[in-house]
Structure 1
Amino acid sequence: MQIVQKPTNKIHSTEFLENHRKKPTDFTRNRTLTFPRLMSFMLNALNGSIQAELVRFFNVIDDSYLSTKSVSTAAFCKAKMKLSHQAFIELNDDLVQTFYEAATIDEWQGHRLLAVDGSVTQLPISNKLLEYFGKARPHAAMPHVRLSQLYDVKNNITLDLQVESHSTGEREMALKHLNKTQTGDLVVYDRGSPAVWFYKYHMLKNVDFCMRIVKRSNVVKAFLESEKYSDVVDFPCVEKSLRRCRKDKISTESLQLRLVRVDLPSGEPEILVSSLTDIQAYPTTLFANLYHQRWGVEEDFKVLKSRLNIENYSSVSIEGVLQDLHAKLLTKNLAASAINQLKDNVVRLIMKLAELELYELILSKISKNLSAIRPDRKFFRQDRRNKTNKYPMNYKRMC
């Protein structure tokens, strides 16, 4: 498939190897676990023990039930130390670029619809990891890492993954995502993001946004009292935003933004703030569904945690953790891209213009893993922090 061909070619290129090995002498000897094999192994959705996964991997490489090749867990860990996690980030950037050039892209009102969400994941017990990443609670024994992703909710692909210490603010991580956006994008955020200085960075990038906003500010209180469902209002740059704008040397002028009221099933109003101020082009009735689509990024974190098992780390080093996280993110994107490419080739399948054996197998697998989408279906979110059943059963791996 052409979407995955560029990353595949890069993995086998000498230039890519030289850019992402730790030392010039790394991966120069003729060993069983070569650089392309190491990359392929780490992208193979590792979920079991390393030794069992290595045996399975070389059985596939040799197209045999019992490979003659043997690599130990220690040899794998030694090879990993020679690799930079930036290799997986570069490959994901290439995959995303090729995806948007080659695939049939689904949009919302002419915008690429992106969503940002953060999550916290547990790390293995390690003093180095605890010192570098911190922990979720003062009395927690395990280190924790904060993740944030920029996700295309219409096309099921992650454009960017940020991995930071637990103490890093979600807004600062979200700001870094803007480097992977482009003019005309529309980004949807939860209520942790709104701030005038943050809005201004979107204006500088010509990127639109829609965010849930808390009701404490005077601007929002006045809007609620007006009993309107939509209004374009003035947001002054004051206090923390004023200091941040001056520090970053950006405009301190006020902004004209739109507030939209959405009544929840409980009867409580939810307030959204957006740069989509054209009421004719973007009627108020669109916004409830627009914000609801942000749910896709939260579901994607469930896939990463439950199906790809990102908390099953193959290393207790900082670099090893970064490798595992970015490798599994790339694996997820490769799978999403392959499914998208398959969708584009349904006509070829039906018209017998392609070899059917592999496609029939993939279609069979996909058909057994579909989840029904029921519009406007809503459930109260459960707090799972103290539950022994950490992830929903419908997201558990079958084997």
Structure 2
Amino acid sequence: MQLKEFSLVSLSIESGEVLKAIETAIPGKAIEQVLGQTDSRETRKRKLPSHLIVCLVIAMNIWSSDSMRTVLKNLVKGLRTQWLKLGQYWRVPSPSSITEARQRLGCQTMSRLFHLLVRPLATAETPGAFLFGLRVMAADGTVLDVPDTPANAKVFGYPGSPKGTRAAFPKIRLVLLIEAGTHLIVDALMCPYRIGERVRVKKLLRSVTPGMLLMWDRGLHSYQMVQATQMQGCHFLGRVPANVKFVPERVLDDGSYLAWIHPDGKSKKKGFNKILLRVIEYTIDSETGQKTYRLITSLLDPQNYPALVQAREYHQRWEVENTIDELKTHLNGRKTPIRSLNPREVVQEVYGWLLGHWAVRSLMFQAAQQAGISPLRLGFTGTLKVIRAAIPEFQNTPTEQLPFFGHG
């Protein structure tokens, strides 16, 4: 019996062929668009073209437990099957070649792609996505360990530790703006660990608009946060620390009261004035005793915006914690979540990670919308498993036979 002869094939595929299974979340045209905007297209034919590396940086978080070479094999598995049928063989590049290709791509392409694609998706029919006709948003932050290299340590820094000791890993701070009813991350910023969460989260307000209700926890409370949110035309509902005091101006029928928040010294120098807000205080009984919460809100009318409803719905803010858990535990789950040894590739990888989460969550939203249920009722881990299996399968399937989430 004569064995079939194989010839070595050069990779020549379009962006849309690689991620066909998640085309509605991350279109190939969008990848090509940002490559053109950032001048990231290669001038000569390469075994690892830029559009494939963009797909790889996203996929390395979908198959987070695998090596980079294995991720690349998974990513083009369906295409390799087709090549083998034609007697063609594609040799997987070495780890050093993959690293060099990532370095050529840089981080700007991934950040541009993220900001081009992400947006709120909930509609008026999405359960729990709106309160008083306002789209519920939540802001919060987290920190991520990065590999302990001199370059990462210099840029991102270590957390504090007892004198004479040093933390095991440098850390990067990540702040997120999340649509509570879908768990979609619609904006994100990263910075060195030493820059506080409260400082960076104010920059996320660039993505809030009129018609939204932004929720935040007590660690983000400040006059500047209140003032900047109102400047965007966005309503807010935030928790305040115990040491912050308010003098009641007028007690309302439901027990909440109106009060002024005064500008800090820096804001006063800029000419900002005190802001009228509403304070809602309530107590929750638990197994460990009673816990008192104080919320401030720009929704001043007790008839249209009852305090009891706001107090109950404020706890939707914890959806942001569930989203961070999806990102750090279910999507990634690595002991040290970041692989990259240099800061530019760290930033590139984090944006790929965020895009991976966007792909899973936006497809979950589409599926839930078709079924007429809340996207929060679907399992994140189960959806991720479906996507892992679908990526190579869709590469082998004619477009006209693809399910609804293959092509819009």
**1:289 equivalent in structure 2:** 312
Which whole-Å CA distance do the structure 2 matches of 1:100 and 1:84 have between them?
Answer: 32
Within the candidate set 218, 221, 241, 1:191 is matched to 218
| Matched-pair contact (CA < 8 Å) for 2:130–2:181 | yes
The DSSP-based 3-state class of the residue aligned with 2:290 is coil
- Asked if 1:29 is matched to 2:44, the reply is yes
| Matched-pair contact (CA < 8 Å) for 2:53–2:105 | no
**1:382 equivalent in structure 2:** none
| Matched-pair contact (CA < 8 Å) for 1:113–1:152 | yes
What per-residue deviation string (whole Å, max 9, x for no partner) do you get for residues 68-127 of structure 1? 332111111101111232322322233234846999683222111110111111110111
Alignment: residue pair count: 343
- What's the TM-score, normalizing by structure 1? 0.77
**1:55 equivalent in structure 2:** 73
Within the candidate set 94, 104, 110, 1:88 is matched to 110
Within the candidate set 281, 286, 302, 1:261 is matched to 281
- Flag the 1:91–1:131 CA change in 2: closer, same or farther, 3 A: same
**1:17 equivalent in structure 2:** 35
Q: By how many angstroms is 1:156 displaced?
A: 1.7
What per-residue deviation string (whole Å, max 9, x for no partner) do you get for residues 171-223 of structure 1? 11111111111112111101012222221111111111111111223316x79
Which whole-Å CA distance do the structure 2 matches of 1:164 and 1:364 have between them?
Answer: 28
Q: By how many angstroms is 1:12 displaced?
A: 5.0
- Flag the 1:188–1:289 CA change in 2: closer, same or farther, 3 A: same
Which whole-Å CA distance do the structure 2 matches of 1:322 and 1:275 have between them?
Answer: 35
Q: By how many angstroms is 1:302 displaced?
A: 1.0
Which whole-Å CA distance do the structure 2 matches of 1:131 and 1:12 have between them?
Answer: 31
Which whole-Å CA distance do the structure 1 matches of 2:133 and 2:311 have between them?
Answer: 18
| Matched-pair contact (CA < 8 Å) for 1:7–1:94 | no
- Asked if 1:123 is matched to 2:146, the reply is yes
The DSSP-based 3-state class of the residue aligned with 2:260 is strand
Q: By how many angstroms is 1:46 displaced?
A: 3.7
- What's the TM-score, normalizing by structure 2? 0.75
| Matched-pair contact (CA < 8 Å) for 1:136–1:166 | yes
**1:8 equivalent in structure 2:** 27
Which whole-Å CA distance do the structure 1 matches of 2:311 and 2:152 have between them?
Answer: 41
**1:321 equivalent in structure 2:** 346
The DSSP-based 3-state class of the residue aligned with 2:81 is coil
Query: Where in structure 1 are there 5+ consecutive unaligned residues?
Result: 348-361, 370-399
Which whole-Å CA distance do the structure 2 matches of 1:86 and 1:20 have between them?
Answer: 7
Within the candidate set 221, 234, 237, 1:207 is matched to 234
Which whole-Å CA distance do the structure 2 matches of 1:10 and 1:85 have between them?
Answer: 19
Within the candidate set 155, 166, 172, 2:199 is matched to 172
Within the candidate set 129, 144, 155, 1:132 is matched to 155
Which whole-Å CA distance do the structure 2 matches of 1:155 and 1:83 have between them?
Answer: 31
| Matched-pair contact (CA < 8 Å) for 1:50–1:314 | no
**1:233 equivalent in structure 2:** 259
**1:42 equivalent in structure 2:** 57
Q: Quick one: which amino acid aligns to residue 362 of structure 2?
A: S
Which whole-Å CA distance do the structure 2 matches of 1:340 and 1:130 have between them?
Answer: 38
Q: By how many angstroms is 1:6 displaced?
A: 7.9
What per-residue deviation string (whole Å, max 9, x for no partner) do you get for residues 282-312 of structure 1? 1011122222101111111111111222743
Which whole-Å CA distance do the structure 1 matches of 2:234 and 2:223 have between them?
Answer: 15
Within the candidate set 337, 347, 350, 2:362 is matched to 337
**1:381 equivalent in structure 2:** none
Range with bigger deviation, 147-156 or 196-205: 196-205
Range with bigger deviation, 62-71 or 263-272: 62-71
- Flag the 1:174–1:4 CA change in 2: closer, same or farther, 3 A: farther
Greater relative contact order, per chain length (Cα 8 Å cut-off, separation 6+):
2
**2:168 equivalent in structure 1:** 141
- Flag the 1:344–1:6 CA change in 2: closer, same or farther, 3 A: closer
Q: Quick one: which amino acid aligns to residue 72 of structure 2?
A: L
Which whole-Å CA distance do the structure 1 matches of 2:367 and 2:221 have between them?
Answer: 38
| Matched-pair contact (CA < 8 Å) for 1:123–1:142 | yes
| Matched-pair contact (CA < 8 Å) for 2:239–2:293 | yes
| Matched-pair contact (CA < 8 Å) for 1:59–1:65 | no
What per-residue deviation string (whole Å, max 9, x for no partner) do you get for residues 134-180 of structure 1? 11223313101111100001122111111011111111111111111
The DSSP-based 3-state class of the residue aligned with 2:158 is coil
- Flag the 1:137–1:21 CA change in 2: closer, same or farther, 3 A: farther
Which whole-Å CA distance do the structure 2 matches of 1:143 and 1:78 have between them?
Answer: 23
Q: By how many angstroms is 1:313 displaced?
A: 2.7
- Flag the 1:368–1:27 CA change in 2: closer, same or farther, 3 A: closer
Q: Quick one: which amino acid aligns to residue 355 of structure 2?
A: L
What per-residue deviation string (whole Å, max 9, x for no partner) do you get for residues 257-277 of structure 1? 011012122323111111111
Which whole-Å CA distance do the structure 1 matches of 2:320 and 2:34 have between them?
Answer: 31
Q: Quick one: which amino acid aligns to residue 264 of structure 1?
A: I
The DSSP-based 3-state class of the residue aligned with 1:276 is coil
- Flag the 1:160–1:254 CA change in 2: closer, same or farther, 3 A: same
Which whole-Å CA distance do the structure 2 matches of 1:72 and 1:87 have between them?
Answer: 23
Q: By how many angstroms is 1:18 displaced?
A: 3.3
Which whole-Å CA distance do the structure 1 matches of 2:323 and 2:261 have between them?
Answer: 33
The DSSP-based 3-state class of the residue aligned with 1:216 is coil
